[in-house]
Amino acid sequence: MDHANHTHLSRDELTPDILDGATIYGLGDHKIGSVSHIHGTGSTIQVVIDVGGFLGIGAKPVAVPIGDLDFMRDEDGDVHAVTSWTKEQLKEMPEHRDPLG
């Protein structure tokens, strides 16, 4: 996928409504996961990515800083992100667990 013509999202667009479900691409444009949800605000936002699994079953949620992801919108308006992480690196991260509340 050529990201050169994609529009980068502004800080104001980095909201749960826009980011939830966005596909995450790693090196070589390999799909490595999708956004499950986000935590925090501003520069402390953590993006929870579902990695692995099939159709959401068996996926492992991991949290990464939003600064590690470059969110953009393609020609069809679909939101996705690119990162330098690989699927294998994300799978090695600790599983994210939402705090009980």
Whole-number Å distance between alpha carbons of 93 and 60? 9
Position 101 scores a pLDDT of 47
Give residue-wise pLDDT tens across range 80-97: 999 999 999 999 999 998
Give residue-wise pLDDT tens across range 5-55: 899 999 889 999 999 999 999 988 899 999 999 988 777 889 999 998 766
Give the burial string for 52-77 (b: 16+ CB within 10 Å, else e): eeeeeeebbbbbbebeebbbbbeeee
Position 99 scores a pLDDT of 73
Q: Which two tokens stand for residue 69?
A: 């992801």
Could you tell me which residue, 47 or 4, shows the higher pLDDT? 47
Given a cut of 50, whether residue 74 has pLDDT beyond it is yes
Position 80 scores a pLDDT of 97
Q: Contact 62/48 with Cβ under 8 angstroms?
A: yes
pTM of structure:
0.88
Roughly how many angstroms between the first and final C-alpha of the chain, as a whole number?
40
Q: Contact 83/26 with Cβ under 8 angstroms?
A: yes
